[in-house]
Chain A
Amino acid sequence: MMSFSAVAPEIWIAAGVLAVVGFEALRSRLPGNFLKTAIPATALLALALALIEALFWNGASQGVFYDGSLVIDAFSRLFVAAACLGALIILFYSVTDMERHGLGRGEYHALVLTATLGVVVIITAANLLVLYLGLELLSLSLYTLISIDRERIPAAEAAMKYFFLGAIASGVLLYGLSLLYGLSGTLSIARLSVDLVAMGPGALLAWVAAVFVLVALAFKFGAAPFHMWVPDVYEGAPTPITLFVATLPELASIALFVRLLSSGLSPLVRDWSGMLIGIAVLSLLVGNLGALLQTNFKRLLAYSAIGHVGFILLGIATGTIRGEVAAVYYTLVYVLMTAVAFGLLLALRARGREIEAIDDLAGLGQSQPWWSLLMLFAMFSLAGVPPFVGFWAKLAVLRALLAAGFPVVAVFAVLMAVVGAFYYLRVVKVMYFDRADHPLVRGNFSLPELVLSLNGLALFILGLVPNSLWGLCTWAIRR
């Protein structure tokens, strides 16, 4: 008998999409004030329900569902919960900002929900086609979201670039998947590995297919040398969308990596690690060095994201369970940290407009001590200063690297982290030591303030008890 409980989060989100689109269809017939609350409330409710479904997973409904389409296990529940929570936080942070730009209409909420749905589908996919479906759902939503502010030229340019490159990447992925299907005759990710093992080490074509898949994933992840879109999109997109692009697709990508590498393509993992390490090292290099000279804060965060992706990939590249756990841990931590940084960008305004340049933050320490403290938390955490949680994430990856016998790579990663500390600390320096020629004010940001404060404090508190989140990740991977 078919059970819908396995896809409860997806159902809630999809229902939310339908409701929001329905509201928007009836815009001319419904009072404006009602829509103004009903649409965000519906979207938030849908995500909250999905989050609750994912959180209260009792372990009974573990397994593969719908003819091998979806896999429900601890890992997918954890990541679905993280994705829903991330989307919730993003909506919280963005509502007022999007309202201000006249973009806070149903389209925005519906697209955020569909993108989240895409992420959720990718996370739970047990089948190559379902995987591709989720990926396209996510990507198409993102293309539209990035250009949702149609009047802004940079946004349109960023969306265009992302769309074009994303299309190429999708083609590459599809090609790789079709090769895999052709080789093994199965779409099931779990069965793929069995067939690949059966083919033995000589299957040259499997290698090529794997490379295609890897390249597509690396593109979605924003890893060098497939990172070119990242800075442009981060800068061009409206800040809430940038926050979305910076967080949820990363969750989806790492989930995909874990699924594909740890089950589907596991026979190839050991041979992959060279390639992965190459990509990771290049990402660390490009991300951290590229960030050094940036003056635009969102671009800085874009390069920093590339650097962090490098760290995450290093965890994956170890090919060990420990490294996988470290990568997953790092990703969750990274999402938390990034949310704080972008949330603060949304919360603050300089010269009556959004904060763009790093120098716009000058004097924040004096004018807004609490927000600047939270920004300090975010920067310290991103830089990996103990005891913030970002430190433990880096440490976990480094330890996994050492345990797996990659001391040189670990040393390189540490060096790059040191370089990274420079530009994060520069932000702190600007906030606290540079004189402001303009007052920084808080935007109209009352309700989300609490969420943002909690989010910022979490960086510190989770850093004091690093084992809690780590334990969760270990549980999710090992189970």
Chain B
Amino acid sequence: MMMGLVVTIVLLPLAAAVLTGLAGRAIGRRLTQALTIGAVGLSWVLSLLLLEQVIGGARLDRILYTWMVSGGVRFPIGFLIDPLSALMISVVTFVSFAVHVYSIGYMRDDPGEIRFFSYISLFTFAMLLLVTANNFLQLFIGWEGVGLVSYLLIGFWFEKPSASAAALKAFLVNRVGDCGFVLGIALLLHETGSLNYSALFAQAPTLVGQTLRLGFGLHLPVLDLIGILLFVGAMAKSAQIPLHVWLPDSMEGPTPISALIHAATMVTAGIFMVARLSPFYVEAPGALSVILVIGSLSALFMGLLGIVATDIKRVIAYSTLSQLGYMTAALGASAFAAGIFHLVTHAFFKALLFLAAGSVILGMHHEQDMRKMGGLRRYMPITYATFLIGSLALVAFPGFSGYFSKDALIEAVGHSRIPGAGTAYLLLVLSVFVTALYTFRMFFMVFHGEERMDAKTREHLHESPWVVTLPLVLLAIPSLGVGWILFHPLLGGGYWGGGLANVAGNPALAPFRKESAWQFFLGAFTSPTFYLMLAGIGVAAYGYLLRPRWPAAVADRLASVYRILLAGYGFDRLYLWFGTRVSPGMGRFLWRHGDEQAIDGLAVNGTAHGVGRIGSWVRRMQTGLLYQYAFTLVAALVVLVFWALVRSPGGILG
């Protein structure tokens, strides 16, 4: 029964994607929209049913069938439904549903509309496959599936060179991550002999303290190594330093995609994966430290970039990077519940922000530069209100959903005893200020202040149609309320029921076990983060409402810092340099000396020449002269007889 439900939820979007992808032109855009939205909507409703069953204590971990067996390794297809995956399914289907509806308005009149709907349905399927997997193979299929659709959608407007380039960049960077991910899975398979999560969890404790001998006297702890390798995959997918470079560029894709894939769901796949494997990660403290440090670094330094960006989507993209850093840090502190909590709330409010930004972009006729906006609140009241809700959630204003998850997360890191937690805590707290600053800088630049757009745009400026604003309202509700509802069950541990490791006995989560949402809400006004956040908003208000010239003056004063931030710390340049100079140089060296001389010269052509020479020799042996044939026959006979005489047990040497 439950298996049927899960399979239906997962396969509905696939059916819609295949149908509209293959026959989209034939059935028309209306029916395409109806089909995909219907399928995802139905999946969402069913996912709520599933969630209810899971809350009621139902669990599922079963292999549906074995895809193939190769070399003794079984490749299963199976599903694992527990509180974590049920929660993810609900979030994914809900956000996807909202984005589907929103896209009706946003993608209207785009020639690739049908293709677009087919893609996002396919994405939903891949994402669902990823979160419901009970083994690494299926996880990997979903992982690559979402990556593929992400690539396709970033380059959705492929006629734009920048979009194609961004798609390529996302693809390449994710390959780097995959490299680690696949190595991790392979090592895991080697150590446990199975691809199933359950096998890994069962064997993880026995692997503690084991080392992998790499030669040269190098001994690495197996669990930490696996954990870090898998996390490299997560770093690319969830855009953590230093593999974050693709995410800002991914904003070249249509805005609904930025909301769905590059904010709410796909980029959280890495977070989800680590949480999914939490029973294993708690046995690998080394890996956790790495995760913690990477996450907190990303949280602060990616946030800083948001302060100088002028493209509205890029600001939100940097904020996504920063928030993903928060989640990662929570995982590193082994406060998996806090990380997932933030993942959920973030999915709602970040999708909201993106979609609201999309609404702004629609109103501005696809202008994304915030310097050409301002004062939009008068023209787009619904967008304005929902954007404000999203911003307040993002900066963790007490009472909004982001507050519950983010402040809890920061506190959890503060209580953590994982090495590196102290520094991480500091970085995260500082980043609160930064978040507030860039968020409200964006908010004020877009909706307040003087109207900087040209006259023609202003004339046509109006609120977006209902299909656009409805999803905004739909998403604004959880952005406001979901924190109140989920705080206690998720952090107190009531919801997980053992599905997530380290909820009950974790010192990092200890403070929340007895607190109610109300108590936590009231606690806000005594914590430093609240005042840091207020300070951030204050600075933004000062700079962008009261003294509009002040930011430029600051930028002038701190010109060198400003340049570094504008250049995104130079990651792009470094990679470009590596990609266009170092790597081709190495390639050229290997080509000249390795390929041309060693392989072509000696191995390939040498072999071919050698083979050819022997071939012609064989041909020359074939003289066509009968007596020679007969002689060969008899001579070979003699040789063999001689051999037999020498080699036989009773023979000369026997």
Q: Given the complex, which residues of A lie within 8 Å of B612, measured CB to CB? A: 292-293
B637 touches A212 (CB 8 A): yes
- The answer for the CA separation of A289 and B619 in the assembled complex, in Å, is 9
Given A160-B626, A164-B630, A168-B634, A214:B648 Cβ within 8 A: no
Which of A203, A211, A290 is within 8 Å of B615, CB to CB? A290
A164 touches B626 (CB 8 A): yes
B619 touches A228 (CB 8 A): no
Given A161-B626, A292-B615, A271:B649 Cβ within 8 A: yes
Within B438-485, the residues touching A (CB, 8 Å) are none
Q: Given the complex, which residues of B lie within 8 Å of A201, measured CB to CB? A: 648-650, 654
Asked if A219 lies at the interface with its beta carbon under 8 angstroms from chain B, I say: yes
A219 touches B626 (CB 8 A): no
A232 touches B624 (CB 8 A): yes
Asked if A411 lies at the interface with its beta carbon under 8 angstroms from chain B, I say: no
Q: Given the complex, which residues of A lie within 8 Å of B632, measured CB to CB? A: 225-226, 228
Within A204-221, the residues touching B (CB, 8 Å) are 204, 207-208, 210-212, 214-215, 219
Asked if B611 lies at the interface with its beta carbon under 8 angstroms from chain A, I say: yes
Within A128-177, the residues touching B (CB, 8 Å) are 160-161, 164-165, 168-169, 172
Interface centre among B612, B644, B645, B650, by most A CB within 10 Å? B644
- The answer for the CA separation of A229 and B630 in the assembled complex, in Å, is 10
Within B638-653, the residues touching A (CB, 8 Å) are 640-641, 643-645, 647-651
Interface centre among A161, A228, A271, A419, by most B CB within 10 Å? A228
A207 touches B644 (CB 8 A): yes
- The answer for the CA separation of A293 and B614 in the assembled complex, in Å, is 10
- B639 to A: closest C-beta gap in Å: 9
- B626 to A: closest C-beta gap in Å: 5
* Binary B-proximity of A192-206 (CB < 8 A = 1, otherwise 0): 000000000111100
A202 touches B633 (CB 8 A): no
Q: Given the complex, which residues of A lie within 8 Å of B618, measured CB to CB? A: 285-286, 289-290
Asked if A461 lies at the interface with its beta carbon under 8 angstroms from chain B, I say: no
- The answer for the CA separation of A289 and B615 in the assembled complex, in Å, is 4
Asked if B18 lies at the interface with its beta carbon under 8 angstroms from chain A, I say: no
* Binary A-proximity of B611-623 (CB < 8 A = 1, otherwise 0): 1101110110010
Which of B614, B637, B651 is within 8 Å of A285, CB to CB? B614
Which of B633, B641, B647, B654 is within 8 Å of A228, CB to CB? B633
A293 touches B619 (CB 8 A): yes
A207 touches B645 (CB 8 A): yes
- A423 to B: closest C-beta gap in Å: 10
- The answer for the CA separation of A292 and B609 in the assembled complex, in Å, is 12
Q: Which range holds the interface residue count of chain A?
A: 35 or more
B640 touches A211 (CB 8 A): yes
Asked if B636 lies at the interface with its beta carbon under 8 angstroms from chain A, I say: yes
Asked if B629 lies at the interface with its beta carbon under 8 angstroms from chain A, I say: yes
- The answer for the CA separation of A299 and B611 in the assembled complex, in Å, is 18
- The answer for the CA separation of A229 and B632 in the assembled complex, in Å, is 11
B644 touches A210 (CB 8 A): yes
* Binary B-proximity of A23-45 (CB < 8 A = 1, otherwise 0): 00000000000000000000000
Which of B614, B629, B630, B647 is within 8 Å of A271, CB to CB? B647
Q: Given the complex, which residues of B lie within 8 Å of A228, measured CB to CB? A: 622, 628-629, 632-633
B615 touches A293 (CB 8 A): yes
Q: Given the complex, which residues of A lie within 8 Å of B619, measured CB to CB? A: 290, 293
Q: Given the complex, which residues of A lie within 8 Å of B654, measured CB to CB? A: 201-202
* Binary B-proximity of A294-323 (CB < 8 A = 1, otherwise 0): 000000000000000000000000000000
By beta carbon, the residue of chain A nearest B624 is A232
Given A285-B614, A419-B611, A208:B629 Cβ within 8 A: no
Q: Given the complex, which residues of A lie within 8 Å of B616, measured CB to CB? A: 293
Within A269-288, the residues touching B (CB, 8 Å) are 271, 274-275, 285-286
Asked if A231 lies at the interface with its beta carbon under 8 angstroms from chain B, I say: yes
By beta carbon, the residue of chain B nearest A423 is B615
- B628 to A: closest C-beta gap in Å: 8
- A364 to B: closest C-beta gap in Å: 25
- B422 to A: closest C-beta gap in Å: 56
Q: Is the interface of B mostly helix, strand, loop or mixed?
A: helix
Which of B611, B626, B643, B648 is within 8 Å of A292, CB to CB? B611
Number of interface residues of B (CB under 8 A): 29
A214 touches B630 (CB 8 A): no
Which of A215, A229, A286, A291 is within 8 Å of B629, CB to CB? A229
- The answer for the CA separation of A291 and B612 in the assembled complex, in Å, is 10
By beta carbon, the residue of chain B nearest A164 is B626
Which of B636, B641, B649, B651 is within 8 Å of A226, CB to CB? B636
B641 touches A172 (CB 8 A): no
- The answer for the CA separation of A275 and B645 in the assembled complex, in Å, is 12
Q: Given the complex, which residues of B lie within 8 Å of A226, measured CB to CB? A: 632-633, 636
B641 touches A208 (CB 8 A): yes
- B532 to A: closest C-beta gap in Å: 63
- The answer for the CA separation of A336 and B263 in the assembled complex, in Å, is 59
- B67 to A: closest C-beta gap in Å: 18
B650 touches A165 (CB 8 A): no
- The answer for the CA separation of A169 and B611 in the assembled complex, in Å, is 31
B641 touches A165 (CB 8 A): no
By beta carbon, the residue of chain B nearest A306 is B618
- The answer for the CA separation of A105 and B651 in the assembled complex, in Å, is 54
Q: Given the complex, which residues of A lie within 8 Å of B649, measured CB to CB? A: 201-202, 271
Q: Given the complex, which residues of B lie within 8 Å of A164, measured CB to CB? A: 626, 630
- The answer for the CA separation of A207 and B645 in the assembled complex, in Å, is 7
Q: Given the complex, which residues of B lie within 8 Å of A202, measured CB to CB? A: 649-650, 654
B637 touches A172 (CB 8 A): yes
Q: Given the complex, which residues of B lie within 8 Å of A286, measured CB to CB? A: 618
- A309 to B: closest C-beta gap in Å: 15
By beta carbon, the residue of chain B nearest A287 is B618
Within B578-636, the residues touching A (CB, 8 Å) are 611-612, 614-616, 618-619, 622, 624, 626, 628-630, 632-634, 636
Within A237-288, the residues touching B (CB, 8 Å) are 271, 274-275, 285-286
Q: Given the complex, which residues of A lie within 8 Å of B626, measured CB to CB? A: 160-161, 164-165
- The answer for the CA separation of A232 and B624 in the assembled complex, in Å, is 7
- The answer for the CA separation of A243 and B451 in the assembled complex, in Å, is 89
Which of B630, B637, B650 is within 8 Å of A215, CB to CB? B637
- The answer for the CA separation of A219 and B651 in the assembled complex, in Å, is 25
Interface centre among B622, B643, B647, by most A CB within 10 Å? B622
- A239 to B: closest C-beta gap in Å: 20
- The answer for the CA separation of A201 and B637 in the assembled complex, in Å, is 22
A231 touches B622 (CB 8 A): yes
- A411 to B: closest C-beta gap in Å: 14
Which of B611, B636, B641, B648 is within 8 Å of A289, CB to CB? B611
- The answer for the CA separation of A215 and B644 in the assembled complex, in Å, is 12
A271 touches B648 (CB 8 A): yes
- B642 to A: closest C-beta gap in Å: 9
Which of A208, A219, A293, A419 is within 8 Å of B644, CB to CB? A208
Q: Given the complex, which residues of A lie within 8 Å of B641, measured CB to CB? A: 208, 211-212
- The answer for the CA separation of A212 and B633 in the assembled complex, in Å, is 11
- A265 to B: closest C-beta gap in Å: 12
Given A168-B633, A215-B640, A225-B632, A204:B651 Cβ within 8 A: yes
Which of B630, B634, B636, B648 is within 8 Å of A207, CB to CB? B648
- The answer for the CA separation of A229 and B623 in the assembled complex, in Å, is 11
**B interface with A by C-beta (< 8 Å):** 611-612, 614-616, 618-619, 622, 624, 626, 628-630, 632-634, 636-637, 640-641, 643-645, 647-651, 654
Query: Can you list 12 pairs linking A and B with CB atoms under 8 Å apart?
Result: A160-B626, A165-B633, A204-B648, A207-B648, A208-B641, A211-B643, A228-B632, A274-B647, A275-B643, A286-B618, A289-B614, A289-B618
**A interface with B by C-beta (< 8 Å):** 160-161, 164-165, 168-169, 172, 201-204, 207-208, 210-212, 214-215, 219, 225-226, 228-229, 231-232, 271, 274-275, 285-286, 289-293, 419
Give me 10 other A-B pairs in contact (C-beta within 8 A), A165-B633, A204-B648 excluded.
A161-B626, A169-B633, A202-B654, A203-B650, A208-B645, A212-B641, A215-B637, A271-B648, A291-B615, A293-B615
5 A-B pairs with the lowest CB-CB distances in the bound complex, closest first? A202-B650, A201-B649, A228-B629, A292-B615, A290-B618
